[in-house]
A = this chain, B = another copy of it.
């Protein structure tokens, strides 16, 4: 019930500049990038950052929320695609592509997150489970992998590729392909450990 007046024009512009600058900075230098650097990159004073985002974590959360929302839109569209197998692959491709470059995979951090982020993450988890179930029923994915597995594996291609210095920007595609081949039923060997809980 908090009646909020509309933001001033320069404020909305600065907010966008900040989100973009922060995303770039985090992409290049990881989540350790300093708030001061982000502010400088956005052409803005450090104080302005904290006016828009009370905390560095809130800033990160805002970026992550944007990305999860975008991913959810794609995921929900793919839920009734013709081929469930390629739909799942497509989803993983988008996920890896958007998270390109650096970490941000702190999706997982179950510690104190704004409820909005938690809700978006739950929706994503739901989408992934549906996508995986469909693909499994369609015989495109081995019977013994779960949605939880896929969520965990989602960030692996970028992580792997990020360790080659001056990597080609699309190298992650190679590792996504290898991992996805490991998810197929053909040539699958029984897994030595049960899947993690789904929460």
Contacts and interface: CB of A to CB of B under 8 A. Distances in A.
A192 B178 contact: no
Interface residues of A, number: 42
Nearest to A197: B164
Contact of A175 (B152, B164, B194): B152
A48 to B, nearest CB: 28
How often does this chain occur in the complex, in copies?
2
Contacts of A152: 160-161, 163-164, 175
A148 B105 CA distance: 24
A53 interface: no
A196 B171 contact: yes
Contacts of A189: 177, 180-181
Given A153-B160, A187-B186, A187-B187, A193 B179 contact: no
A181 to B, nearest CB: 4
A20 interface: no
A105 B163 contact: yes
Contacts of A160: 152-153, 155-156
A186 B183 contact: no
A1 interface: no
